[in-house]
Amino acid sequence: MAFVPVLHSELIKIRTLRSLVTTLGVMVVVTAAFSALGSLDAGEEGFDPLFAAFFGFNFGQLAAIAFGTVAVSSELRDGSLRGALIAVPDRRRWFAAKAVAIAGPCLVVGLLTGVVSLVVGRAVLGADARGLSWGEGLRGVVGCGVYFTLMALFAAGITALLRSGVATLSILIPFLLIVSFVVGDMSSGVADVLPDRAGQIVFHETWDGSLGPWTGLAVTALWTAAALGAGAWRVRARDA
């Protein structure tokens, strides 16, 4: 089967799985809500208006991870993967289509999330938003879409590697909420190259580390590529 029909079938799966559609909606709402809360701290010492406007990404990324995880783990239940591979014997083609089917909706919703967060953040910031240029706002919007997409794909690759959605969420959520912050407090140099912290530089107006907004996203992309590569290897190596 050619790639386009396979991709179309994977997009249909995502569109018809209610939990995935709900997760994308949660991504928008949660990110915007916490961005509004983060913007309430305007005027404090060291205040970063760009980070405040997009503060909700800290919580929205959990929805992105859940989206990528469930999109793959749903195939591992009840022999669904076996049926998919019967229809598409080329496992690399199937996994590539799955990755694109995850990335497309996540990128679109991620960009929408960025726009909503920027609008909400600027509204709550009020006069304090004057320090936030539209160029920086555009960078935050694009960064939001790209970062959420990369984290969803990263989770998808890990899920394929571990063959368990529960195991993936049990590792990634504590890592994002606890480990990453602890490492960041201990050593900013090490934190700069973690898969989440590197990509999050795009949400800061200024950054003292060695990476910039786009090089940080590039580092996250390398982590994502490695995770997808490992996941593709596991899909090829193991029986459905």
Residue 201 CB coordination number (10 Å) = 22
Q: Is residue 131 predicted with pLDDT exceeding 80?
A: no
Cα Rg for the chain, rounded, in angstroms?
18
Q: Distance between CA 225 and CA 232 in Å, rounded? A: 10
Q: How many domains does the chain have?
A: 1
Predicted pLDDT of residue 170: 95
Which residue segment(s) compose the domain that 145 sits in? 3-237
Number of continuous H segments (helices) and E segments (strands) in the chain: 12, 0
CB 137 within 8 A of CB 51: no
State the Cα angle at 222 between 215 and 113, rounded to 5°.
70
In this predicted structure, which of 45-49, 58-62, 78-82 has the lowest mean pLDDT?
78-82
- The pTM (predicted TM-score) of the whole model is 0.92
At 48 the pLDDT is: 85
Structure token digits, residue 102: 């995850």
